[in-house]
Structure 1
Amino acid sequence: MRTQRSELSEADFQAVSKLAYDEAGLVLPASKKAFVYSRLQKRLRHLKLGTFEDYCALLRQNDPDGEAERINLISALTTNVTQFFREAHHFELFGKEVLPGMVEAARKGDPVRIWSAGCSAGQEPFTIAAYCLKHAPQLATADFRVLASDIDPNVLHHGLAGVYPEDSLPDDRSDYFSDLIEATENPKDFRFKENVKKLIAFRKLNLLRDWPFSGRFDAIFCRNVAIYFDLPTQQGLFEKFGKQLKPKGWLFVGHSERVNLDTNKAFRSAGLTSYQRTE
């Protein structure tokens, strides 16, 4: 077995970059070569591969091993950093502008749906559910669901389990979670109760592929996901989101992401990185 330290050749870097773009829309300019090397060197060690050439050959395999490693590649090249109540200004606007309409729709018996697109380990969809149950507890018995999707199955299992460290809860928002969580065997962790978990559907989904649903959403949270895409891909995704929202539905994006309102007439700016469908 070859054990020498492998170098990432320009050809191998270009092969990885193309595959990452084709698979998930990830853009890896030349300035990211050192980052790619650092992230993927760990994969080579884990797989006991001697060279990046060997690794690229594995990625190209049209079999379960190749497919599994392409998933691991995307996971390695993205940063799954998230937290409860991240970018809290979105929830202030959500509570003021979005939640009242959701409550009225639920009162009429209509389905109420929110999509956490790029949900990572699940803190965002659980925050959405906790916020809704705190301010509109009647939604617990309504036709209310949160879709939580991510391309990476390696992080989705955290959301499915609903177990997180105690110190991950923000101190100033503890009242949102106190009735929704329970202790685990590990005193440093907590678990969301089943009545909360049943409101959230975790699904593996590539945002750049066809979406296997036709229902529309009251609001979509897609924050700090589009930053990995080039501008045409970003704006194309935002256009698709517009078509997936109910009339006057809402889209919340990350702090460095923007919908181009000059070309996308489906939205109006409604606050910091917050957009509402114009019809």
Structure 2
Amino acid sequence: MKLSIRDFKQLAELIHVNYGIYLKEEKIPLVEGRLRQVLVDQQFESYAEYIDYLKTEKTGHAIQTLINKITTNHTFFMRETDHFNFFREEVLPELLQSKQDKDLRIWSAGCSSGEEPYTLAMIIDEVLGEQKKYWDARILATDLSQQVLESALQGVYSKDKVDSLPPNWRLKYFSKLSSDEYSLTESLRQEVIFRKFNLMEEVFPFRKKFDVIFCRNVMIYFDMETKKKLVEKFYDITNQDGYLFIGHSESVNRSESKYHYIRPAVYRKL
């Protein structure tokens, strides 16, 4: 089965309208390759038939499978390390001093398999130390893909991934399951709340605003208008003096956004 340009455009439109992900025609081979087995397993005779099914299927399972196949969930602990260093050395001490209510609100948007929010949780645990019991410092971590969220909840990672972390973190926050697998401690896993969430929701349903939002290497999938609207929504739910971290390959249009540029891929609501 070949994915025609006509069928690709229908599929791309369906994904863009519902999830903001913008697929160019050059992605046809990639999409075709990732979906071929889905069509075989579910006995569809054409991509057109599959697309019709996506539009009418009511449980949401088919569209979730599509999103799991289309999105790339490549991440690792301490990715873009300078962000975590800045968070530890500048952002977190400032927040700990200014937050009189001891309510620290951090959102990892597009958390993939959990390495980013768990890295933040380890930093917070280390910096707060004995004072942690006085703080509400759990992290909200969201993603479109139920598949990666289930993996993140398990908190099990390969030796290669864990080896990139400082030795004291490996000892304190992980237990060895086998020669090639490590599990995060239950106490650290409880510091992160995982939820399925679509960033294309018109209104973000959060009761309180966030002090820090990490949304890194997510907007690379969006067109300019979608990025602009998303950044506006992020701004609206960021606390005054709060931060937005994006990927180093991404940017915020400084002439259009109310955020202030702080350093590469870091913005602040002032």
Report if TM-score (shorter chain) is over 0.5: yes
Per the alignment, in what secondary structure is the counterpart of residue 16 of structure 1? helix
Q: TM-score, normalised by structure 2?
A: 0.94
Deviation at 1:212, TM superposition (A): 2.3
Correspondence for 2:224: 231
CA contact (8 A) 1:20 1:26 kept: yes
Give, as a single letter, the amino acid of the residue that structure 2 aligns with 1:75: N
Letter in 2 for 1:73: L
2:180 corresponds in structure 1 to 188
What is aligned with 1:247?
A: 240
Map 1:83-102 onto structure 2 (within 5 A): 83-102=76-95
Letter matched to residue 81 of structure 1: H
2:266 aligned to which of 251, 264, 274: 274
Specify whether residues 224 and 173 from structure 1 end up closer, same or farther in structure 2 by C-alpha distance, changes over 3 A only.
same
The question of whether the paired residues in 1 share the 8 Å contact of 2:77 and 2:164 is answered with: no
Decide which of 124, 129, 135 is 2:121's aligned counterpart.
129
2:45 pairs with 1:47: no
Separation of aligned partners in 1, 2:113 and 2:50: 27
Tell me how far apart the structure 2 counterparts of residues 135 and 194 of structure 1 sit (CA, whole Å). 19
Query: C-alpha separation between the residues in 1 aligned to 2:179 and 2:96?
Result: 36
Does the CA-based 8 Å contact 1:223-1:253 persist in structure 2?
Answer: yes
* 2-structure distance, mates of 1:109, 1:158: 33
What amino acid is aligned across from residue 112 of structure 1 in structure 2? L
Matches within 5 A, 1:8-157: 8-64=3-59, 67-105=60-98, 108-138=100-130, 140-141=132-133, 142-157=135-150
Q: CA separation of 1:171/1:9 partners in 2, compared to 1, >3 Å: closer, same or farther? A: closer
SS at match of 1:19: helix
Q: Which structure 2 residue ranges, 5 or more long, are not aligned?
A: none
Supply the AA of the counterpart residue of 1:84: F
2:152 to 159, 162, 166: 159
Q: Deviations over 1:126-180 (max 9, x none)?
A: 0110111122224531111100000110100011111111221244523234211
Distance apart, 1:49 and its partner CA: 2.1
Asked if structure 1 preserves the Cα contact closer than 8 Å seen for 2:211 and 2:242, the reply is yes
TM (norm. structure 1) is 0.91
Gap runs ≥5 in structure 1: 1-5
Matched AA of 1:117? A
1:3 is aligned to none
Distance of 1:199 and 1:99 partners within structure 2: 16
Query: Structure 2: how far apart are the matches of 1:136 and 1:18?
Result: 46
Give the Cα separation in 1 of the matches to 2:27 and 2:95.
43
Query: Following TM superposition, where does structure 1 have runs of at least 4 consecutive aligned residues deviating by more than 6 angstroms?
Result: none
Partner Cα separation in structure 2 for residue 100 and residue 172 of structure 1: 22
What amino acid sits opposite 1:28 in the alignment? L
* Residue identity (%): 34
CA contact (8 A) 1:132 1:139 kept: no
**Aligned residues: CA RMSD:** 1.5
Retained in 2: the 8 A contact 1:109–1:143? Answer: no
Contact in 2 for aligned 1:250/1:277 (Cα 8 Å): yes
Superposed displacement of residue 182, structure 1: 1.6
- Is the Cα contact below 8 Å between 1:134 and 1:176 reproduced in 2? no
Distance 1:135 1:197 in 2: 17
Contact 2:35 2:66 in 1 (8 A): yes
Contact in 1 for aligned 2:210/2:238 (Cα 8 Å): yes
